[in-house]
Structures are given as structure tokens and as C-alpha cells.
Amino acid sequence: MKLNLRQIEVFRAMMLSGSISGAAKLLYVSQPAVSRLIGYTEQRLGFKLFERIKGRLHPTPEAHRLFEEVTALYQNVQRVNEVADNLSLNREGHIRIACSPNIGQSLMPRAVARFTQLFPEVRVVLHTHIPHVMLQALLTQQVELGVTYMPIPHPSFEMQPLYENRIVAVLPQDHPLADRDQISSRDLQGERFIGYGSDIPFSQLVHRIFGSEENQPSARVEVQQAHVACAMVQAGVGVALVDELTIRGPSWSNIVAIPVAPMVHAPIHAFNLALQPMSRLAQEFVGVLKSLDESKR
């Protein structure tokens, strides 16, 4: 083994402090001890970690690359310490959840608020991820529960439907169509349209609403998230299709949301590993999500 934990600790202290004296202070050791260990580490590795330029030590490119891995290692160590702290203080536990960015601004704040009222001692860690990153986080058990749009078939996951989540058209308040009870794709033909990237799952729903290729709108602006599309409409850029959970999230002024006909949904699902039983806290959080059921309000 070329590096042991002590060598890694001294190297990290050097990178963080930028000097031998700074590293010595961080570690409560002498400067010669730091210098010797860095020299020994460089000898074991077979390359320089620091070069002296104009009297100061500067990390080499190799040192910067190694520091990326060391940082990841310390993050994992920090997670171990978090678990140890929870056990030693007899806390009830923590739950790690991932959701898509839109849901993080609409559904999740209300769900977390309700959950923390029910379980005030539980720590909630919420990550916002695009779908494929979320699935990777679930597979590697960085998070226990994922909440996102639309079903994502995968043999390793169990999926629970939460909300139907209807698609609505969002328009400026003074738009000629703003007083309609419902809007069809034909009504939106010729409008300044705010669309989504083709790699975004929500884009598939928009494509379905407009049908054939010749009827697909030419997006004046392309965004990645529905709440950004709402902000664009609010600023007067054009019109957009979003889901009703997004429009019920932050308070939007000077825009209206009108149901799309025929009805199309962007269903919300909760995901967890199929062969990994959900913790009691994760089950309780899913229960809170279902109790909110925004689609029925």
C-alpha cells in the first residue's frame, strides 16, 4: 500500500492550509514531522506532490487530482461520523431523499414541513437530481427514496404512484386565451412557445400533446425545468406547458394556468430499491406525500 491514513491526513492538511506550518497547526504536530512525512509519501508514490516556487510550496497537477479522491474519502468518513453521532446521542435517525428540481420547489417543501412536525428529531437530507443521476444515487444507496416525474422502468426499483399531476398551459394574465376553461394544442399553434430539451422526460409529454411532427411547436426558448418555464412566462417571454404541482409551488404573479385538453398527466412516483426493505422513516415519508395529494385540491 503506497498511502496509509496518516499520510492521507497530512497531505489533506497541506492542501487545505497551503503550507507546512499551516498543516502542522491543523494536525498539532511539528513542522519537521510534516515535512518528513510529505517527503516519504512522495518517495512512495514516485512523483512530486508539491513544488517550491519563489519560496512557497505549490501543489502539482498530480496533487490536485489526488486531492479530489481524498476529498471524496473524507466525505464518506463524514457520513460514518454522522451515523456514529446519531447513535451516540440516541437520535431517532435520518432519512436521505432525492427528488427532481421542480418537485424540490413545489411538493417537497410542504412534505418536509409536515414530516418534521410529525418527527421533530429526524434529520432530513434532501438532494435535487435529474432522473438518471437520481437512479444512480438510489442504486449506490446514497439516498433511500427518490421522487420524480413519470414512471422510470428499472428491474432494481419498486415504484409507488403518488399523484396524477395534470398538465396545464401557463400564459400571461392579459393573454387573449387567459379566460378559457381549457386549451388545446391547436390553440397554442403560432404562440411564442417555451419548450424543453429533448432529453428531459417532461419534453416527451409535450411532444405527445402536439401529436405529429408537423404540429410540434418551434420553441423560442428552451429550458430544462418547469419552474423556469413559469418564470419565463411571468417575464413575458411566451407561453409554456407545465404540470399543476409546479404551478402550485412558488407564488406566481401575472400568469394563469389553464388545463390542457385532452387531459394529459405527468405522474409523480416514489422509487426505492426493490431488494432493500424501506426503513420505517421512508415509509412514513411516503405516507406524508400521499396525504398531501395536491392533485385533488
Q: What is the pLDDT of residue 15?
A: 92
**How is residue 4 written as a grid cell?**
496509509
**What confidence tens digit (pLDDT) does each residue in 43-74 have?**
999 999 999 888 888 999 999 999 999 999 88
C-alpha 169 chain-centroid distance: 25
**What confidence tens digit (pLDDT) does each residue in 245-266 have?**
888 877 788 999 999 988 888 8
Q: What is the pLDDT of residue 114?
A: 93
Q: What percent of the chain has pLDDT over 70?
A: 94
Q: What is the pLDDT of residue 33?
A: 93
Please give the Cα distance from 236 to 215 (Å, whole number). Answer: 23
Torsion angles phi and psi, residue 289, rounded to 5: -60, -45
Q: What is the pLDDT of residue 3?
A: 85
pLDDT band at 200 (very low <50, low <70, confident <90, very high): confident
**What confidence tens digit (pLDDT) does each residue in 70-122 have?**
999 888 888 888 777 765 653 557 899 999 888 888 899 999 999 999 888 88
pLDDT at 294 > cutoff 50: no
Report the residue count for the chain. 297
Q: What is the pLDDT of residue 56?
A: 87
Please give the Cα distance from 156 to 147 (Å, whole number). Answer: 15
0.75 exceeded by pTM: no
The gap between the terminal CA atoms of the chain, to the nearest Å, is 61
| 100 burial type by CB count under 10 A (0-12 exposed, 13-18 middle, 19+ buried) | buried
Q: Is residue 103 helix, strand or coil?
A: helix
Residue type at 127 in one-letter notation: H
Beta pairing partners, 163: 268
Q: What is the pLDDT of residue 90?
A: 39
